[in-house]
Amino acid sequence: MTTPAPQTRIDLVRVAEMVEPGSRVLDVGCGDGALLRLLAERRGVDGRGIELSQQGVNDCVANGLSVVQGDADKDLADYPDDAFDYVILSQTLQATRQPRVVLEHMLRIGRRAIVSFPNFGHWRIRAQLAFKGRMPVTENLSHAWYDTPNIHFCTIRDFVLLTREVQAQIETSAALDNLGRPLQVNLPWWTQNLIGEQAVFLLRRSR
Amino acid sequence: MGGPRPNLVGSTLEADTPNSLVVRFGADRPLTMEAGVNLAPLTIAYQTYGALNAAKSNAFLICHALTGDQHAANVNPVTGKGGWWETMVGRGKPIDTDRFFVICANVVGGCMGTTGPASINPATGRPYGLDLPVVTIADMVRAQAMLIDHLGIDSLFCVAGGSMGGMQVLQWAASYPERVFSALPIAAAAKHSAQNIAFHEVGRQAIMADPDWRGGRYLSEGVSPGKGLAVARMAAHITYLSESALQRRFGRKLQNRAERTFSFDADFQIESYLRHQGSIFVERFDPNSYLFMTRAMDYFDLAADYGGALAGAFKGAKTRFCVVSFTSDWLFPTSDSRAIVHALNAGGASVSFVEIETDKGHDAFLLEEPDLFATTRGFIDAAARARGLPTAARSGR
């Protein structure tokens, strides 16, 4: 399910820093369990994972992590309300069939949701489409249009609008460079949307 | 197959004088059965491996499958072969007898020393036969709880088992959530499917159609429905394997002959193999016990006891679960395990779920499956850390 970018590790550190120590976390699309391990080691969390690839699941369980094979689009509906303090979707939103439904489930299941995703509004991507007239292929998003698992790309601006649609409040957000380092804070949205390679949002229900 | 009656010797001897540890509960401590009757006296035959620690926190209960027994990790007194789960249980193995106090008991209705249809009914002085009340998975688990009480253990570190053993694991977690720290149901289901009930019914009819079954009184009458039991085992054995494994191993190969014989001999290797499986089974298993075991599985429907919603069985469970299925298991397919996982998630339980790629079918849980060992070892060790038990000192087997 995940399409891990090369800079995943630094990206994961950013995500982990948003999580209160000792909380209960569900990592949706947990891959080989790198974030869950990081959260357990650094934040002492009680972590669970969902992962689409069976090999990823087996590796996680063999490493002592609580992970089930499952699909964000199908299986989040099974989880009860408020089951977790945080539900995390790391670099996976763009690969879901119904990003909005997935986000709504995350906000229902967790008191907070953390979403990280590649920003399709980055200037390099805009430039490829504008000047080459081709679907963008970058170092971080290296799939050709016909074999990409990423079927629902969005820009940072798009995502902010989606958070309003699902009545989520943005607690914090950060646009990151291609190494996962945060850009200078307090940049206006349009700037972040132009120069952020990826973004991380900490959300909570506003109702 | 199933000669006159020498086959009875092994199983009937074990039924009343087992080569096992034994605990007997008298009329003051009857087993309350789902059928609405109390069973007393009750004998439970069991084996243990490893040592119980001072805090009594390292007890690991293994639940056996349909035709299994308490001899999980020692030489079987009837067959003379190794224990049925020596792949998983032993020093340095995933269920590590250096660290855990492993208990395995013959289930109620079995034929290896725990009270079953081949046991002597003290009221008549003759084997129970069909006078034994129909046994359910919940009855088996309640009896195991009596054994655990007898051993002075409050809470089990883990309950594990495959197939019917996995059903018992689920029942344990539902009936005694506070007594089960972790649970490992393998190749199991929360209810028996119509197809599985159908196969069991074929087996039972084969036994009951054998003229030597005698309405279940064959032991008293000195005969044995060995032919019927062998046919039951042959039919069931097919369901434990996968089509692709059968094809790979046997294909259309002929048995010790170059040509078809134009007879009803066992021309094909698969026929010869099944006949062999049937005949060795008859030497170790009581036909009535086979009726009771299959019935217990058929009756199992955990959700039915919780208003039809399986999640209700695990609501608020603190138990850590690891559910395991095998890709080529068509008897307890992955969809059955997935239903358990959905219910556990809905109940907010801690759950891992692995589906292991193999062509060995349902029987994979008894076989050499490195992925099974790696994932269960990971789960058990993580649970041991959470319980404050020592983790593996060595990783080799």
**Shortest Cα distance from A76 to chain B (angstroms)?**
9
CB of B59 within 8 A of CB of B151? yes
Out of B346, B350, B378, name the one closest to residue A61 (CB).
Answer: B378
Cα A113 from Cα A111, distance rounded (Å): 7
Instruction: Say if residue B282's pLDDT is above 90.
Output: yes
pTM of this structure: 0.90
User: Between the CA atoms of B11, B14, B20 and B25, what dihedral angle is there, to the nearest 10 degrees?
Assistant: 120
Residues on chain B touching A67 (C-beta within 8 angstroms): 352-353
Contact B382 A64 (CB under 8 A): yes
pLDDT tens figures, A91-131: 899 999 999 999 999 999 999 999 999 999 999 999 999 99
Instruction: Say if residue B8's pLDDT is above 60.
Output: no
CB of A70 within 8 A of CB of A52? yes
- List all residues 6 or more positions away from B264 whose beta carbon is below 8 Å from its beta carbon: none
Distances (CA, A) of A85 to A46, A51, A183, B78: 10, 19, 27, 54
pLDDT tens figures, B313-352: 998 889 999 999 999 999 999 999 999 999 998 888 899 9
pLDDT tens figures, B94-133: 999 999 999 999 999 999 999 999 999 999 999 999 999 9
Put simply, whether B223 touches A (Cβ < 8 Å) is: no
Domain ranges of chain B: 9-193+302-387, 197-294
Cα A175 from Cα A160, distance rounded (Å): 12
pLDDT tens figures, B217-227: 999 999 999 99
Burial of A37 (0-12, 13-18, 19+ CB in 10 A): middle
Put simply, whether B372 touches A (Cβ < 8 Å) is: no
Out of A63, A64, A66, name the one closest to residue B351 (CB).
Answer: A66
User: What's the ipTM?
Assistant: 0.82
Domains of chain A and any CATH numbers? 8-205 (3.40.50.150)
- pLDDT value of residue A189: 84
Identify the residue with better confidence: B201 or B307.
B201
Using a pLDDT cut of 70, give the percent of chain A over it. 95
Cα B132 from Cα B303, distance rounded (Å): 26
Put simply, whether B198 touches A (Cβ < 8 Å) is: no
Right CATH number for B9-193+302-387 from 3.40.1160.10, 3.40.50.1820, 3.40.718.10, 3.40.710.10?
3.40.50.1820
- Segment A54-58 shows an average pLDDT of 89
Helix (H, G, I), strand (E, B) or coil at B103: strand
Q: How far is CA B318 from the centre of its chain?
A: 25
Instruction: Say if residue A5's pLDDT is above 50.
Output: no
Right CATH number for B197-294 from 3.40.50.300, 2.40.430.10, 3.40.50.970, 1.10.1740.110?
1.10.1740.110
Chain A interface, best mutation among B310, B350, B352, B377, by max A CB count within 10 A: B352
Cα B267 from Cα B256, distance rounded (Å): 8
pLDDT tens figures, B241-270: 999 999 999 999 999 999 999 999 999 999
CA atoms lying within 13 Å on the CB side of residue A173: 24
Put simply, whether B348 touches A (Cβ < 8 Å) is: yes
Out of B345, B356, B374, name the one closest to residue A78 (CB).
Answer: B345
- Segment B264-291 shows an average pLDDT of 97
Residues on chain A touching B352 (C-beta within 8 angstroms): 57, 60-61, 65-68
- Segment B279-305 shows an average pLDDT of 97
Cα A178 from Cα A141, distance rounded (Å): 11
Instruction: Say if residue A179's pLDDT is above 90.
Output: no
Confidence class of residue A3 from pLDDT cuts 50, 70 and 90? very low
Write the single-letter amino acid at B375.
Answer: T
